[in-house]
Amino acid sequence: MLDDADSAITRDGKALILAYDHGLEHGPVDFEPVPETTDPGVVFDLATHDAVTALAVGKGVAEAHYPSYEDDVTLLAKLNGTSNLWMGEPDSAVNWSVDYAHDLGADAIGFTYYGGSNNEVEMAEEFRDAQEAARHRDMGVVMWSYPRGQGLKNDRDPKTIAYATRLGLELGADIAKVKYPGSADAMEWACQSAGKCKVVMSGGSKASDRDFLETVESAMRAGASGLAVGRNIFQRENPEAMLDGLEKVIFEGTTAEEALDA
């Protein structure tokens, strides 16, 4: 497991992962609200904010941009990903190896795992290989734990999210990133189910400043260790202000109200 004291992707045991793999997962449509964010350099600049503990990107974006930011940004290599054009049962192609990511300077890997998909067995085997390779290189392991597939009706049901965090623990992730299950009680159950595996909340589609900060506050009070967020940062006109607010709520333990008033 990651040691809080010397983890490259946490600060005081907490994480704020800026996710920018949307160009692959959703397509450029996610950049339309703030068209400048089509340029990965704009998001790398955001990742130099003190609040950001790691930036999660895919291979091509990392190759093209990380060398210019290696002193200022902690790289989390999002190893697998599949486009929205894929219409099959949920699956995610492994697009780069742990060794390649390590050589590029990554401190951690990110891996999407679709528990419940008909492809779960193959994905678990791919995760095993990546997780063990990361351990050999002292890299952190973050699981995007997203149960989905034909048999799953509600991917935010409290039972499903508690199962998702538990899968992170069982399969050897340091951090499980899950969707917010809708209430503090459900989030608390999810965090307890994860044992020593930390839980971070996934950002989701853009919400108002107040709603978003209140949900993050609720997740933190329920035992979460932070946030992994994309659209709720890079789709804002003033993303730095939201990062300032998140720094307060996640690392300083303030309320959303206090963060909004600052």
Decide: is 231 part of the binding site for ligand FBP (CB under 6 A). Answer: yes
Active-site residue (options: 59, 78, 177, 198): 177
- The yes or no reply on residue 202 touching ligand FBP (CB under 6 A) is yes
Q: Quick one: which segment of 14-22, 40-48, 115-123, 185-193 binds ligand FBP (CB under 6 A)?
A: 14-22
Q: Per CB under 6 A, which of residues 69..88 are in contact with ligand FBP?
A: none
Compute the distance between CA of residue 120 and CA of residue 143 in angstroms, rounded to an integer: 14
Nearer to ligand FBP, 140 or 203 (CB): 203
CB of 6 to ligand FBP, least distance (A): 25
Minimum distance between the CB of residue 5 and ligand FBP, rounded to whole angstroms? 27
Residue 117 as a binder of ligand FBP (CB under 6 A): the answer is no
Build a one-symbol-per-residue string for 23-52: x at contacts with ligand FBP by CB under 6 A, - elsewhere: --x---------------------------
104, 82 Cβ separation under 8 angstroms: no
- Looking at the Cβ atoms of 178 and 197, the one nearer to ligand FBP is 178
- 188 contacts ligand FBP (rule: CB under 6 A): no
Q: How far is the CB of 253 from ligand FBP (least distance, A)?
A: 22
Question: What is the DSSP annotation of the chain?
Answer: ---GGG-TT-BTTBEEEEE--HHHHT-GGGGTTSGGGGSHHHHHHHTTSTT--EEEE-HHHHHHHGGGTTTT--EEEE-EE--TT--SSS--EE-S-HHHHHHHT-SEEEEEE-TTSTTHHHHHHHHHHHHHHHHHTT-EEEEEE---STT-S-TT-HHHHHHHHHHHHHHT-SEEEE---SSHHHHHHHHHHTTTSEEEEE--S---HHHHHHHHHHHHHTT--EEEESHHHHTSS-HHHHHHHHIIIIIS---HHHHHH-
Q: Is 144 in the site for ligand FBP (CB under 6 A)?
A: yes
Interface segment toward ligand FBP; rule CB under 6 A; list 19-27, 39-47, 128-136, 185-193: 19-27
Is-catalytic flag, 177?
Answer: yes
How near is the Cβ of 123 to ligand FBP at its closest, in Å? 14
Binding site for ligand FBP (CB under 6 A): 19, 21-22, 25, 144, 202-204, 229-232
Active site residues: 177
